[in-house]
Each structure stands twice: as structure tokens, then as C-alpha cells.
Amino acid sequence: MLILYTRPGCPYCAKVLIAAKELNISFDERNTNNPSVTAELVARGGKQQVPYLVDEERGIEMYESNDIIAHLHATFSGKT
């Protein structure tokens, strides 16, 4: 399962979501405007920064939109 922590209006989150749409990838998207989701994010990654990807299948968690997009392309490009 892929989990993506986002915040509305975040341009870096939008960038990841656009890349995911191009690759036909869906996420369990979690909005950090919800305080309990923010607490969950901080417990996982240690800070409130978004976007934050959790790739449970591969045991990968990461911040930084460019790193997330690179991971998505490396993992899902050409796969259906």
C-alpha cells in the first residue's frame, strides 16, 4: 500500500500527485489539516513536512517531492 501525506495548497504535494496521475498510481492520501493525521505523520517521520510517502510493500518512507517522484518512476514506470 502507498500512503501519501499531503496538505491542500502545497505545491510540492501537487507535483507528486500530478506525477502519480501520469503513472496511474493511487495512494491512500492523508490530509495533514487533520490534527490526528499530522500526529501520525510526526510519529512516522519525525516532522510535519509534506509530501511524505510511505511505500509499505517496499519498506520505504521518504520526504522530498523530487525523491518521491524518482521512486515512483523507478518503481512503477512501464508497469500496469
Question: What is the pLDDT, as a whole number, of residue 79?
Answer: 58
2-6 and 52-55 beta bridge pairing: antiparallel
pLDDT digits (tens, 9 = 90+) for 3-23: 999 999 999 999 999 999 999
Model confidence, pTM: 0.93
More confident residue, 11 or 77: 11
Count of alpha carbons within 13 angstroms of residue 19, beta-carbon side: 21
Question: What is the pLDDT, as a whole number, of residue 80?
Answer: 43
DSSP single-letter state for residue 60: E
Per the structure, the complete domain to which residue 30 belongs is given by 2-76
- Give the total number of structural domains in the chain: 1
3-state helix, strand and coil shares in percent for the chain, rounded to the nearest 5? 45, 20, 35
Read off the CATH number of the domain in which 19 is found.
3.40.30.10
